[in-house]
């Protein structure tokens, strides 16, 4: 009977450890009401999508500010504290009462995590990859993507995002499709270079996120205006991985 009791206690202890580990990877549900855009990709339930190693998938809209103000259901802390706490301001992810009770301490340099994923964002002009109004890669465009693939080969890839953008000429629907086709052309080429397809996330933003100012590039369609709008025709590629 004593052995049976000891076994029961051991099983209970192991179960508690298992439950504790599971709790650390619990689903994070975003409060999406009135929150557009979102800094992280979510499924139909509003749960943040994660990579195979538990990293949150960022969208093309991710910024530190947006991650710091996106609410999480059932938590007093925003989404950034769940996914990118080391990138958030200290005051955002720490209870106010705890900060008030703690005596001021010298600020020490933050330790560098040995396996923290590094991220490199590369903005490539669409005109360097494609002919105007096209989605087929030019020879020069392939050479630029060869460079991206070469840099990616030095990392253990967590994710690569390719986000296509278009200028203001054309309808919303047309430019959305064009930006998607361009992003997918980039993805297809990187897959041919040996990068796993399930590690590459491609999407198009159409003409919704121009980088030129509203008072720039005025006037009807012309060579001069098309050249002025070149910065809006772009593909933003972000490579995230560990050395």
CATH number at 214 reads 3.30.1330.60
Residue span of the structural domain in which 89 resides:
26-102
Compute the distance between CA of residue 4 and CA of residue 82 in angstroms, rounded to an integer. Answer: 41
State the DSSP H helix or E strand holding residue 9, giving kind and residue range, or none if neither. helix 2-24
Confidence (pLDDT) at 25: 61
Global pTM value: 0.52
Q: Is residue 7 part of a domain?
A: no
User: How many structural domains are present in the chain?
Assistant: 2
Tens-digit pLDDT profile for residues 230-242: 888 888 888 888 7
Indicate whether 149 pLDDT > 80: yes
CA distances from 190 to 132, 142, 152, 153, 185 (A): 21, 9, 10, 11, 9
Indicate whether 19 pLDDT > 50: no
**Do residues 155 and 219 share a domain?**
yes
Q: Is residue 185 part of a domain?
A: yes
**Residue 9 has which token pair?**
């206690």
**Do residues 97 and 198 share a domain?**
no
**Do residues 217 and 148 share a domain?**
yes
**Do residues 221 and 179 share a domain?**
yes
Tens-digit pLDDT profile for residues 166-188: 999 999 999 999 999 999 999 99
Tens-digit pLDDT profile for residues 115-127: 555 666 666 777 7
Indicate whether 103 pLDDT > 80: no
- Report helix angle 139-152 to 172-192, nearest 10: 60
Report the 10 Å Cβ neighbour count for 137: 19
């Amino acid at each position: 009977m004593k052995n049976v009791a000891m076994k029961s206690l051991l099983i209970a202890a192991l179960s508690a450890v298992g439950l504790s580990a599971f709790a650390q990877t619990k689903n994070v549900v975003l409060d999406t009401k009135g929150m557009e855009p979102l800094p992280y990709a979510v499924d139909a339930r509003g749960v943040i999508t994660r990579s195979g190693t538990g990293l949150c998938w960022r969208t093309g809209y991710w910024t530190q500010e947006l991650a710091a103000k996106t609410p999480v259901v059932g938590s007093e802390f925003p989404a950034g504290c769940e996914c990118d706490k080391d990138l958030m301001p200290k005051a955002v992810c720490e209870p106010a009462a705890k900060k008030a009770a703690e005596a001021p301490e010298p600020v020490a340099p933050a330790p560098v995590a040995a396996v923290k994923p590094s991220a490199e964002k590369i903005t490539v002009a669409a005109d360097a990859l494609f002919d105007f109004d096209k989605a087929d890669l030019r020879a020069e465009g392939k050479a630029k993507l060869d460079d991206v693939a070469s840099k990616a080969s030095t990392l253990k890839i967590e994710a690569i995002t390719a986000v296509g953008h278009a200028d203001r000429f054309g309808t919303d629907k047309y430019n959305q499709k064009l930006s998607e086709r361009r992003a997918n052309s980039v993805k297809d080429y990187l897959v041919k270079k040996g990068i796993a397809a399930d590690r590459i996330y491609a999407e198009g933003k159409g003409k919704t996120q121009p980088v030129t100012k509203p008072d720039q590039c005025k006037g009807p369609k012309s060579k001069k205006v098309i050249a002025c709008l070149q910065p809006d025709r772009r593909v933003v590629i972000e490579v995230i991985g560990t050395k």
